[in-house]
Structure 1
Amino acid sequence: IDPKQIQYVEENVFQKYQGYHPCSTDIALPLMNQNLSFPILLGSTLPFYDGISLKMPNAHYTFSGSTIDIDSIPINEELIMKLSKRFLNAPYLWGGRSPFGIDCSGLVQQVFKILGVPMKRDASLQVEGGELVPFPQAARVGDLAFFDNAEGIIHHVGIILDDQKIIHASGKVRIDTLDQNGIIHSDTGKYTHKLRIIKRVLKYEESKGQITLQSERK
């Protein structure tokens, strides 16, 4: 990280900025104040955003773009699919986490961050969380499918959608078909990734048709 992009703060200020804050849902729009304007990307955190302005340690900014605050709206399958598809066709970039370049675990991390669920950075670590889904037919929207290589190492992950579809980053963020063997490329009809395991990080409340977080947000 460039030192010029770091803002040092006191411990008590740092603690206030932990936990969930609204996130931007536009591909790229600027934060502005009287002195400057700079772009923020899809999934950026907006600390203490009130619908017009947000408070940073060193200044206040206004933001006129689209946002999401999961403390004020229900999480459901439609929302998960809508957020995931915001990254559709983003080019693949190893280590990337933005619509201008993203990898498979970065896609999962960003979508779940917007939903208020912190995820580890790499697929091999993300697989450690959640509850086991015994087979693909039991999967639900928002479940995570993990894939291994010839050595048995988890090296790929995607977010399960409806109708046996999965969204993942492979060349670009794309939607393909998922079955018990793995991912079937929508253009070639060939298998591209071998399914290893499916995990459920989000817990559903069947009676309300909504989703609750499996672990409390910090």
Structure 2
Amino acid sequence: FEIVGTVTKDEKLVLTAYHSDGWYEFSIDDRQCWIYAWFIHVPGEPVCIGTLVEDKANLRESPGMDSQVLMVLEKDTELYIHARDEDYYLVEAHGTLGWILGKYVDTMYKTIGLAIVKGDTVNIRVFPDLGAAVAEIAEDNQIYVTYGSYNGWYRLMLKDGSDAWIKDDFVEFAPYLSPVQSDYPALNVLEPPSGWEGMKLIQQLLINTAKKYMGMPYVWGGESPKGMDCSGFTLYVYKDFGVRMSHFAATQATYGKYVPYGSLRAGDLVFFAGSGSGAITHVGIYIGNNEFIHASSSKTYGKYVRISELTGYYMNTYKTARRIFDY
């Protein structure tokens, strides 16, 4: 293709199409043109959600320490992450869009965006395992849109609309990460390829991981084997499976998708409202047979990680459930 013109930094373009090789279509003087995705940022739904881990951090007008400070953010502020430029994230906080140093942000999900294949011939597989069947073979510098991750693999969508997986060793991400058109949504939950029975294994592994911490002491604000509170326990377990969560039960209740009580499956997060206000104050992991595992702060039954039945007090205070992995 010939070069038909140039665009300048911060110039706004009206995009009309996206090609899976990594190019966007737009018009200049009614002429069809294409620009490589690497060079533009596409506004849209946030790529992922994060929280501020510093006591105070500056939200800036542009990336760089010399940029104007828009506001000072407090620790645990929830951030909607739209893009990345080297060490900085473009985030939305309290309705204001600005840039913040990435080291101050705990992202709840692994990188999602435009992945560039690095390798002459790279196998794209039907599920995240080196022994899985090859869905297609990618060439060097080929572009894919990734929207999920698990254990060192990225989930992507092929041209025919089917799902596949690529090992993280063979990709690098463009400097700007952003969701693209609705055919390639920036999903924040891991959804396995249709019909993949291996997710049942992950379900069991998740429960086994949770049970490893049986008897660990309850410590308010804790999120390690030395001591955990309820949301610290759930985030610590799910972290082993590539999911990053807020250390706040009410925020965890916004992740994944809603599950009716009658449709609970092992691995679902179950939430409780222990106060008269109806606000969510407790969370655990459903393990089946009307039981869940949680970091309990009960003075009666003990302050440690244990299994409880969804009856009596817990049934009376049960609030909702969310499914992080769509089995």
Q: Same fold (TM over 0.5)?
A: yes
* Structure 1 unaligned blocks of 5 or more: 2-9, 21-67, 184-190, 205-218
Aligned ranges for residues 34-73 of structure 1 at < 5 Å? 69=151, 71=153
Aligned ranges for residues 88-107 of structure 1 at < 5 Å? 88-107=214-233
Name whichever structure is richer in strand by fraction. 2
* Structure 1 consecutive aligned stretches of length 4 or more whose deviation exceeds 3 Å: 68-75
Deviation at 1:105, TM superposition (A): 0.1
Q: C-alpha separation between the residues in 2 aligned to 1:128 and 1:79?
A: 23
Q: In the alignment, what sits opposite 1:128?
A: 254
Q: Alignment RMSD, CA only?
A: 3.2
Change (3 A) 1:178 1:120: same
Does the alignment pair 1:174 with 2:297? no
Deviation at 1:11, TM superposition (A): 3.1
Q: After superposition, what is the alpha-carbon deviation per residue over 1:80-103, rounded to whole angstroms, capped at 9, x for unaligned?
A: 111111111110000001111100
Q: In the alignment, what sits opposite 2:266?
A: 141
Give the structure, 1 or 2, with the largest relative contact order (CA under 8 Å, sep 6 or more).
Answer: 1
Q: In the alignment, what sits opposite 2:81?
A: none
Q: C-alpha separation between the residues in 2 aligned to 1:96 and 1:70?
A: 26
Q: What is the TM-score with the length of structure 1 in the denominator?
A: 0.55
Q: After superposition, what is the alpha-carbon deviation per residue over 1:4-48, rounded to whole angstroms, capped at 9, x for unaligned?
A: xxxxxx939x79xx875xxxxxxxxxxxxxxxxxxxxxxxxxxxx
Is this contact kept in 2: 1:70–1:115, CA < 8 A?
A: no
Change (3 A) 1:90 1:198: same
How many residues align? The count is 139
Q: In the alignment, what sits opposite 2:325?
A: 202
Larger Rg: 2
Is this contact kept in 2: 1:160–1:167, CA < 8 A?
A: yes
Deviation at 1:69, TM superposition (A): 4.0
Q: Percent identity?
A: 35
Is this contact kept in 2: 1:146–1:197, CA < 8 A?
A: yes
Change (3 A) 1:182 1:131: farther
Q: C-alpha separation between the residues in 1 aligned to 2:268 and 2:276?
A: 24
Q: C-alpha separation between the residues in 1 aligned to 2:215 and 2:263?
A: 27
Q: In the alignment, what sits opposite 1:157?
A: 283
Deviation at 1:153, TM superposition (A): 1.1
Residue from 4, 8, 11 that aligns with 2:87: 11
* Structure 2 unaligned blocks of 5 or more: 1-52, 54-85, 89-101, 111-149, 154-166, 168-197, 297-302
